[in-house]
Amino acid sequence: MNKPYPPVYYAEYLQLNKVLDAQKPKSEEYGQPAHDEMLFIIVHQVFELWFKQIIHEIDSVCKMFQDESVDERSIGVAVSRIQRIIEIQKVLTEQLRVIETMTPLDFLEFRDFLIPASGFQSYQFRLIENKLGLKSENRVQYNNIDYFNALNEEHRRQILASMENISLFEMVEKWLERTPFLKFAGFDFWEEYKNTVENMIENERQIILTNPTLSEKKKETQLQQNAKTLEHFEALYDEEKHNELEKEGVVRLSLRATLAALFINLYRDEPILHLPFRFLNALAEMDEMFATWRYRHVLMVHRMIGAKVGTGGSSGHSYLMTTIEKHRVFTDLFNLSTYLIPRSSLPELPEELTKQLGFYYSQKIKL
C-alpha cells in the first residue's frame, strides 16, 4: 500500500535553514565580535518560541470558555493545557541559569550595540499578559508612557486588538458566576456557612479571653486580629462592601464568582467539583510561576547591570521588581485561603445535593 503523503525531510519540516540562520550578532556587524552575544540571542529567541506556545495554549483554553455554556468535558482538557504552560514556565525559569553563565563583563562587550532594544519590547509577552487578563490600570508605567508605544506599528496593532478582546480572567469569572449548587431547595449554603464562621470566630475569641497565659496587652492585640478576621469574612455576605473593595482594587472577582470559587475549594472532594478545583488551582499556579519567573529575571538583571539603566531606558531591575506583584492576574484565587474553614466544620449539604455532586452535572438539571 502506497503512503498517501509525500516524504518529509527533518530539516525542511522544522525549517532549520530559517531558524539556524536567525542569529545575527550586532557586535560582528560592527567589527567587534563578542563571543557571548550568540548565547544572548539564542536564549531570547528560545524565550520567544516558548511564548508562542504559551499563547497557543491560552487561546485554546479561551476558546473553550468563550460560550455561555462550557462543556464540562473541556475542563479536564483545560487543566492539562494550563499544566503544560506551567511546565514551560519551569523551563523558562531554568533557562535563566544558562544566560547567567555569561558574566557582566561579557555582557558589556556588546550591550551598547543593543540600545534601545529591550525585553520590554517583547510583544508576545505583552499579548500573554493581556490574554490572561492584566488590566491596563494595573500595569507599571514604562518611562511614563503607555507600554505599547515602545513597539513598532504592527506589534502595537496586535497589542491594542488584544486589549479589546475578552480575557481568560473574564471568561473564568463568567463561568464561575454560572456555577449552580449555591442554593438548593430552600437550603441556603451561605447562611449555614456564615453561622459556622461566626461560631468559629466567637470560639476563638473566648479562648483568647480565657487564656491565663496571655497578658492584657497580648489579649488586646489578638482580639483585634480576631475582629479583623471577622471583617474579612463579612465581605462575603455584604455585596455592597464587596463592590467597594472591587472599586478600591482590593478584589477583582465579582461576589458571585468569588462565592462559587470558594464553594468549589471547600467541597473539592465531591466528584463533580474535583476538576473545577484542579482548574482553579492550575490558574493560581500559573500566576505564581509567572511571578517566580519575573523574580528570577529581576535577580539576573540586577546581577548583570547592577543599578544601571536598562537598554530600553527603564530603571532596570527596580522597574522589573515592581511588576512582580502588580502584574499578577489571579490574586483572588490566592485570597480564597482567607475564607477556608476546616473540613470538619463544613456545613452538611442536603442529601439530594450531595447526590447531584456525585455524578456528571448537566446545565439542564433544575435546582
User: pLDDT (tens digit, 9 = 90+) per residue, 46-66?
Assistant: 999 999 999 999 999 999 999
- Would you state the pLDDT for residue 342? 87
Q: Examine the pLDDT at 188 and tell me if it is beyond 80.
A: no
State how many domains the chain has.
1
Q: Give the residue among 340, 266, 276, 261 at the shortest CA–CA distance from 75.
A: 276
Residue 362 domain-assigned (yes or no):
no
pLDDT digits (tens, 9 = 90+) for 293-348: 999 999 998 888 886 655 544 456 777 888 888 899 999 999 999 888 888 888 88
Portion of the chain with pLDDT greater than 70, in percent: 91
- Helical pair 123-132 and 37-65, crossing angle rounded to 10 deg: 30
Residue 181 domain-assigned (yes or no):
yes
Residue 2 domain-assigned (yes or no):
no
Segments forming the whole domain that contains residue 228: 21-356
Instruction: Let me know: does 236 contact 258? Beta carbons within 8 Å.
Output: yes
Residue 32 domain-assigned (yes or no):
yes
Residue 232 domain-assigned (yes or no):
yes
Q: Examine the pLDDT at 367 and tell me if it is beyond 60.
A: no
Task: Categorize the per-residue pLDDT at 363 as very low, low, confident or very high, splitting at 50, 70 and 90.
Answer: very low
Residue 363 domain-assigned (yes or no):
no
Q: Examine the pLDDT at 362 and tell me if it is beyond 70.
A: no
CATH number of the structural domain spanning residue 117? 1.20.58.480
Residue 361 domain-assigned (yes or no):
no
Mean pLDDT for the chain?
Answer: 88
Task: Give the residue carrying C-alpha cell 485554546.
Answer: 60
Exposure b/e, 227-247, CB count within 10 A at least 16 = b = eebbeebebbeeeeebeeeee
Q: Compare 2 and 76 and report the one with higher pLDDT.
A: 76
Q: What's the mean pLDDT in 118-139?
A: 91
